[in-house]
Amino acid sequence: MNPEASGSGGTKKTVIIIVLALLLVASLAFGLQQSSKAKDYKVVSDQEISAAVAAANKTQAAQLQAQFDEQSKSPNKSFHGSTTYGSVTFDYPKTWSAYVDTSSSSEPINGYFYPDTVPGIQSKTAYALRVELVNIDYSQVMQQFNSKITQGLVTAKAYTPPKLQGMTNVVAGTLMNGQVNNQDQTQRGTMLAIKVRDKTLEIYTEAADFSKDFNNTVLATLTFAP
């Protein structure tokens, strides 16, 4: 036997064994790396799924709460003003409380409405609803808003409440959106100013959050005797 050939064969076997060992080590390392990535991916995936489920539950809870809040407003309460001053009448959500001062002849109705408990007058709260029947001519009331309308701080359009449309002696009022509260320029609300006999009714919400109730409940049911 040729010694050189024998030595050469042994060397080849050794190289093959070393290569196979390296491949095995590399394969094990790759497998461990992939396993670690899979575990990390599963952790991230589980966290994302948990976050998505929590968000969905939160959204559903918010939707159910909103439905409950809407349902709890019905049936509505009704406000009935004195026949002496035009029998101003309208509905409002039963979840709102009211404070109405009728002791002043210059302002026969001065009302504050708010969910649950009516905040103090000095609290600077944006009330859900304000109702003022003032002993001021309609044209004079509207003069107070002319500059705001010109500046674009208030938008205005002619408006007659649905239940008063077509009634004799009812003159269209003005529905305004924007800075309707002259005492607090930061508030954005909606106001209807309309002539009631020799006086002017200012009925308005001081916050956009209550616009739906104001439009769909209060204005939709507003009536008075011309």
Question: For the chain, what are the domain ranges?
Answer: 1-72, 77-221
The identity of residue 193, as a single letter, is A
- Cis check: omega of the bond before 108, within 30 degrees of 0: no
**What confidence score (pLDDT) does residue 35 get?**
73
pLDDT tens by residue, 172-216 = 999 999 999 877 767 889 999 999 999 999 999 999 999 999 999
| Number of residues assigned to the chain | 226
Q: Which is more confident, 20 or 198?
A: 198
Q: Which residues of 175-186 are buried (b: 16+ CB within 10 A; e: fewer)?
A: bbbbbbbeeeee
Is the predicted pLDDT of residue 13 greater than 80, yes or no?
A: no
Phi then psi dihedrals of residue 79, to 5 deg: -105, 135
DSSP alpha helix (H) spans, 73-137: none
Contact 173, 164 (CB under 8 A): no
**What confidence score (pLDDT) does residue 72 get?**
57
- Show Cβ contacts of residue 123 under 8 Å, excluding neighbours closer than 6 positions: none
Cα separation, 92 vs 98, in Å, equals 10
DSSP alpha helix (H) spans, 73-183: 138-143, 146-151
Q: Which residues of 133-166 are buried (b: 16+ CB within 10 A; e: fewer)?
A: bbebebeebbeebeebeeeeebebeebbbebbee
Cα separation, 100 vs 110, in Å, equals 6
**Which tokens is 47 given?**
């966290």
Rg, C-alpha atoms of the chain: 37
pLDDT tens by residue, 58-117 = 666 666 555 555 555 668 999 999 999 999 999 999 999 999 999 999 999 999 999 999
Contact 132, 191 (CB under 8 A): no
Q: How confident is the model at residue 9 (pLDDT cuts 50, 70, 90)?
A: low
**What confidence score (pLDDT) does residue 166 get?**
92
Indicate whether this model's pTM tops 0.75: no
**Which tokens is 210 given?**
């209550």
CATH hierarchy code of domain 77-221: 3.40.1000
pLDDT tens by residue, 119-144 = 998 888 999 999 999 999 999 999 99
**What confidence score (pLDDT) does residue 46 get?**
74
The identity of residue 169, as a single letter, is N
pLDDT tens by residue, 28-50 = 777 777 777 777 767 777 777 77
**What confidence score (pLDDT) does residue 111 get?**
97
Cα separation, 121 vs 115, in Å, equals 15
